[in-house]
Amino acid sequence: MKNSLLSYFTNFISINTQSDPDSDTYPSCEAQELFAEVLAGKLSVMGMKNVDVDRYSYVTAQLPANTDEDMPVIGFISHIDTSPDYSGMGIKPNIINNYNGSDIVLKNDIIISPKEFPVLKNYIGKTVITADGTTLLGSDDKAGMAEIFTAMEYLIAHPEIKHGTVKVAFTPDEEIGAGVDHFDVKKFGCDFAYTVDGGDEGEINCECFNAARAKIKIRGKSVHPGSAKNSMINAALLAMELNALLPDEKPQNTEGYEGFYHLTDMSGDVSAASLEYIIRDHDKTKFEERKNTVKAAADAINQKYGNCVELELYDEYYNMAEVIEQHKYVLDRAVKAAEKAGVVPEIRPIRGGTDGARLSFMGLPCPNLFTGGHNFHGPYEFAVLESMEKAVETILNIITG
């Protein structure tokens, strides 16, 4: 199993499938379309049935039941894109067998140190996989993809293991919030599902943020600075002033269930400026309060400078706990499966979102399972092969009940 898992993983990460937040196509880049076709071919060769790539590049396939026993139809989902936050071009895996607990020194002066990342101490003697320092690794979510592939391959090779119908799906553009924009839950046809898109060993997520995005445009008034008295309105300065009206609750200052305002983009000059924020909170009431705070900041600038601010504010996804609480058996099944694999389950809120959050509100209860990856979206990313194996075992245990 280990060799197959590693082979899938290194093969998948070698293909650059970064999503593009500025694209107006779906999926957002041609590489994802091509990769979807590659995946479909691999699934067919493996022996999966009803393999399909639809016009949105959703890849789906089915492993038929091999028993007459009444068992649920279970789905497993991961995403094929990687984050646009850091380069995914030419990823070269650095495989460290029997990791000794020392600093991992990579190119570009990147050092993955247990002093900065103490969790590394848990993996002494294990197989740690990084990139070379010039790219992200891509374990988000190609570790999840490799784990689903490996689990399906194992079941096909071991028909003596009785199971119900299993369905898999691989989605584009999760990293830019569009992963299930066109996903057909009814066609997928599962009783419940799991995204395999989490972090370190044992992590199971059934809570996530409520999420919104704010896009703010500010119109200034450009006048020659030599004659600007009482007439110039500097849009860039207004952007700074508006930002200063928000509470100092940033991602770097918060943890656990604490929400935040995150300035993701800012640009401008005297005549025009723009700001983009993501707004996050696990608590629905506090989430609404945060959105109102952004509205109040925009209103304050408008009142002071004369309707120069345009605010576009919209919700992205909601806390899946609201749905999972009504289907606790889905979470219980995952916990039992992890324990059977020798893993200590850690049920924790994810400080982010998954495709599963939106799918849960689309009628498909969908908690999130660990993949064995750490420090996603940058050059400090690493994965642990033994934890990835435990993810495969957990998937298999979920299927067999």
**Residue 276 near residue 215 (C-beta atoms within 8 A):** yes
Checking if the pLDDT of 196 tops 90, the result is: yes
Confidence band of 2 (pLDDT split at 50, 70, 90): confident
Confidence band of 228 (pLDDT split at 50, 70, 90): confident
Checking if the pLDDT of 354 tops 90, the result is: no
Residues tagged active-site: 81, 174
| Cα 314 to Cα 214: distance, rounded to the nearest angstrom | 7
The fold for domain 210-317 equals Alpha-Beta Plaits (3.30.70)
The pLDDT, as a whole number, for residue 244 is: 97
The pLDDT, as a whole number, for residue 353 is: 80
**Residue 213 near residue 264 (C-beta atoms within 8 A):** no
377: left (phi over 0), alpha (psi -120 to 50) or beta: left
Question: What would the pLDDT profile of 253-296 be if each residue is shown by its tens digit?
Answer: 999 899 999 999 999 999 999 999 999 999 999 999 999 999 99
| Cα 281 to Cα 368: distance, rounded to the nearest angstrom | 18
The pLDDT, as a whole number, for residue 294 is: 98
Checking if the pLDDT of 318 tops 90, the result is: yes
The pLDDT, as a whole number, for residue 238 is: 98
Domain boundaries, the chain: 2-207+319-400, 210-317
Question: Long-range contacts: 183-189, Cβ < 8 Å, 24+?
Answer: 183/58, 183/355, 183/359, 183/362, 184/54, 184/58, 185/359, 185/362, 185/363, 185/364, 186/363, 187/60, 188/60, 188/75, 188/364, 189/73
Question: What would the pLDDT profile of 149-193 be if each residue is shown by its tens digit?
Answer: 999 999 999 999 999 999 999 999 999 989 999 999 999 999 999
Question: What would the pLDDT profile of 34-87 be if each residue is shown by its tens digit?
Answer: 999 999 999 999 999 999 999 999 999 999 999 999 999 999 999 999 999 999
Token pair, residue 318, equals: 């909601």
CATH number at 2-207+319-400: 3.40.630.10
